[in-house]
Structure 1
């Protein structure tokens, strides 16, 4: 196996990998929280002028018109803190997700890389399969927090849930345990190709970008941005489906968009969106999602690499002193 496949997979102990991944996720989430709220609001918006359920039909236009307009309207109507709605469950999600993701990726890739010849998979296959495995484990483990993040971000000035504890109680009481996993099928269907493509692209681009004279060691960030934009665009329709499914249930009509249709299942939701809004409906919020993907991946990968270097250095220093 070539050295490039070892870069993320074999460096550091499991504790270091979990710590670095968790810190990277925590910091990146706080940075991009406003973009995430804007993206969710746009994804949940029904646009079609010919649709009787559409806000565009009832009010002569959509609630939000573009990324910048959405920013301004949220701040005007809900205050600056409206841009961080759902940040508490989101921070918890990113904290757990980052640790599980990088630990799963390291474990899976190490296992695949150590399969003896002639069955040893090529570098590209190792990166893709390890990334897909990491995404599946991390998404499933943190999905209830993802659902809570979406529901809080979908709230307007009128609050659906008074607190995080109240939301957990209400969802459990009215929807049961399964209520916390609405849209999980779409989430896993999205994350498997996304993480596979992301890590495959990142592992390929990182050594290619390494010779570039970018400041502050930002070749890691540049590789992360490029890999994320490519991967995000490829699977974005499933992300929209996931968001639409996450706000189903007894509170569906209480969010900022009170006309969200009833959706059931990934395939039926895709058909319904295409029929009602056209293929473009599957890409609501793609622009802000790509804007968000760039700093998210850049901050995540840059922070992860820096924290890992620091942790490894600290542990080596402790061993020397002993």
Structure 2
């Protein structure tokens, strides 16, 4: 919540980073089966069978989860959890931990009053871009491991685990390959971060001005749901492009991936995994945006 004075935090950056990273990791453990389903849906392409089009292997969030569990075992739903936790420690900690100091930097030392929405969006865009630039290698390995299960039976897996994936990518593709898909990943995470943090901040500020509402868990829940829904709707197209580029290194560029996806799979391909993504919204993590990330008090 934004106060009527210059926002200040009683929590250090280290404390905010650690708390945000812990919340993000806990949410990752709980939601990664849905995230795995989302990645499989996003990587799925139309399969041509003769003169017609074969039915897709994965259909819907629950259907995808059930198919993965039936064909590969329940543990496959948590494939990529190790780099996922690596990612959340870096990305979750940085994007939320930096949000308040960057927002304060943009409004200036002498600012008094409600922080404008434009400044919140700009601060969230900045922290999202910085955080994912640092965390991109972990995101790449997570997607690669999640995509391994879609390989046909008998085909050898490229990676035996997260650490092996990091070293194999560097050895076979070069150190710079760890930042494959950085362009769409920055776009995706900066946009989603701006949509999520700024809308959470704004929604909560609006709710608390309604008589009868206080800064409690229900306010955080409503704010988190609203912010999560807005974020996944805005970020879904770039999320699909990011997943496809990371899961399939044959794409030459972000534009190449976008054009081929649109041409081969149609515009609705950019909405694949949308429901799974929304169901995996990290409300617990969003709650820390207010109490730890924003660090602002209601007055």
TM range (shorter): 0.7 to 0.9
Decide which of 185, 192, 195 is 1:194's aligned counterpart.
Answer: 192
1:125 Cα shift? 1.6
Paired positions, count: 287
* Higher RCO structure, 1 or 2 (CA under 8 Å, sep 6+): 2
1:171 Cα shift? 0.6
Query: Which structure 1 segments of 5+ residues have no match?
Result: 250-261, 310-322
Q: Are 2:165 and 1:161 aligned?
A: no
1:14 Cα shift? 1.4
Q: Are 2:113 and 1:128 aligned?
A: no
Q: Are 2:176 and 1:183 aligned?
A: no
Q: Are 2:269 and 1:281 aligned?
A: yes
Paired with 1:51 and 1:172, the residues of 2 have a C-alpha distance of 39
Q: CA offsets per residue over residues 28-61 of structure 1, 9 Å max, x none? A: 1111111000000000000265899xxx84xx31
1:207 Cα shift? 2.5
Paired with 1:116 and 1:6, the residues of 2 have a C-alpha distance of 8
Paired with 2:89 and 2:272, the residues of 1 have a C-alpha distance of 27
Quote the residue 2:297 is aligned against.
Answer: none
- The ranges of structure 1 where at least 4 consecutive aligned residues each deviate by more than 3 angstroms after the TM superposition are 4-7, 48-52, 115-118, 210-216, 303-309
Q: Secondary structure at the match of 2:98?
A: helix
**Contact 1:23–1:304 at 8 Å: present in 2 too?**
no
1:193 Cα shift? 2.3
Query: Which structure 2 segments of 5+ residues have no match?
Result: 295-299
Q: Are 2:145 and 1:152 aligned?
A: yes
**Contact 2:106–2:119 at 8 Å: present in 1 too?**
yes
> Aligned pair in 2 of structure 1 residues 81, 232: CA closer, same or farther (>3 Å)?
same
Q: CA offsets per residue over residues 151-182 of structure 1, 9 Å max, x none? A: 11111176331122221221111100121111
1:200 Cα shift? 2.0
Paired with 2:168 and 2:100, the residues of 1 have a C-alpha distance of 37
Quote the residue 2:93 is aligned against.
Answer: 99
**Contact 2:103–2:119 at 8 Å: present in 1 too?**
yes
1:245 Cα shift? 0.7
Quote the residue 2:104 is aligned against.
Answer: 110
**TM, length-normalised to structure 1:** 0.80
1:192 Cα shift? 2.2
Quote the residue 1:31 is aligned against.
Answer: 30
